[in-house]
Amino acid sequence: MRVPFQMDLSGKVAVVTGAGGILCSSMAHALAECGASVALLDLNRETAEEQAANIAAEGKQARGYQANALDKDSLRQAHEKILEELGPCDILINGAGGNHPLATTDKEYFAMQDLEEHVKTFFDLEQSGVEFVFNLNFIGTLLPTQIFSRDMVGREGCSILNISSMNAYTPLTKIPAYSGAKAAVSNFTQWLAVHFAREGIRVNALAPGFFVTKQNERLLYHEDGTPTERTGKILAATPMQRFGRTEELLGSVLFLLNEEAAGFITGVVLPIDGGFSAYSGV
Ligand code: NAD
């Protein structure tokens, strides 16, 4: 893989959760390319191992681990293996996250007649779906941080990167739980940055705009591949008029993790959004 710029992460151990997914597997690749030993964690063992094997095939250091970001025992088990096989964690990327259909309304605006039609309104959102989304994004950031940042205490050059989203600033229609949960991730990023500041552990987050991945594919494209109305609205609200490319996140990942370049940066949430958050729509 080609990285936007080279930096030396040799001797560092990086742990990436959700690393079987599209965005975070690419971040794992970039860290390995810069010399880090990368632990790829995912709920799905197969994808974690497959991505790790892809990296290892390029002669870089990577191993896949099954771990549930919502289960402390599962994280502890992965942590023990990582300590044994790679060493203590210097870099943590909390990438596991996503939305759920049970926490998504069918329509953007409520209309009275929806109550009589087969429309999933705000009133029909399932508590279980909302809890799933809050847990996955917020608790799924907090628990891995508790387990892996313990390794960072008393050591230099350690850093945490969370993944927030555009909807943390202003909620996107239809997805109240995902928006609220990512707002919690941004807020927690600031809280933890302050909490760890005197220990020298930096904590930042990315707020990606719109990138087409497994979790939003069905919202953005119909099954026949034609764009949905939502895609039209997103592109109209993105001054650069396109979706982001996965590799366009990597420069920010490497920059924020780089002690030399970003050693005084902690508690920021960096938008990577083609101008979406800067545009008022007029
Ligand atoms: P993805 O669906 O491709 O990957 C998510 C990965 O997380 C999957 O491999 C999944 O198996 C794993 N996962 C799910 N639950 C888990 C759990 N409990 N424990 C461990 N792993 C678990 O998603 P992506 O689009 O690559 O998203 C990565 C991150 O970026 C997420 O936090 C997402 O919310 C965020 N994000 C994505 C976009 C976008 O446009 N795609 C925009 C903003 C933020």
Q: Whole-prediction pTM value? A: 0.97
pLDDT of residue 60: 98
Phi, psi of 62, rounded to the nearest 5 degrees: -160, 145
* Distance from C-alpha of 224 to C-alpha of 277, rounded to nearest angstrom: 30
Q: What is the per-residue pLDDT across 50-103, written as a single tens digit (0 to 9) for each?
A: 999 999 999 999 999 999 999 999 999 999 999 999 999 999 999 999 999 999
- Nearest ligand 1 atom to the CA of 166 is 43
* Distance from C-alpha of 151 to C-alpha of 260, rounded to nearest angstrom: 21
Domain spanning 13-209+244-272: CATH 3.40.50.720: yes
**279: annotated active-site residue:** no
pLDDT of residue 129: 98
Could you tell me the two tokens for 282? 């007029």
CA dihedral 80, 262, 180, 120 (to 10 degrees): -90
In the predicted model, residues of the chain with pLDDT beneath 70 are: none
Q: Which one of 215, 247, 249, 252 would you pick to mutate in the ligand 1 pocket, going by the greatest count of ligand atoms within 8 A of its CB?
A: 215
Tally of residues, the chain: 282
- Block residue for tokens 């399932």: 126
CB 179 within 8 A of CB 207: no
What are the extents of the domains in the chain?
A: 13-209+244-272
pLDDT of residue 1: 81
- Nearest ligand 1 atom to the CA of 47 is 9
Q: Is 44 in the pocket of ligand 1 (CB under 6 A)?
A: yes
Please identify which of the residues 109, 169, 178, 221 carries the catalytic annotation.
Answer: 178
Look at strands 269-272 and 202-208 and give their pairing: parallel
pLDDT of residue 38: 98
Q: Is 3 in the pocket of ligand 1 (CB under 6 A)?
A: no
pLDDT of residue 213: 84
Q: Which one of 142, 143, 213 would you pick to mutate in the ligand 1 pocket, going by the greatest count of ligand atoms within 8 A of its CB?
A: 213
Phi, psi of 79, rounded to the nearest 5 degrees: -60, -45
According to DSSP, residue 7 is labeled -
Q: Is 218 in the pocket of ligand 1 (CB under 6 A)?
A: no
Q: Is 171 in the pocket of ligand 1 (CB under 6 A)?
A: no
pLDDT of residue 216: 83
- The stretches of 5-139 forming alpha helices (DSSP H) are 22-33, 45-57, 72-85, 127-134
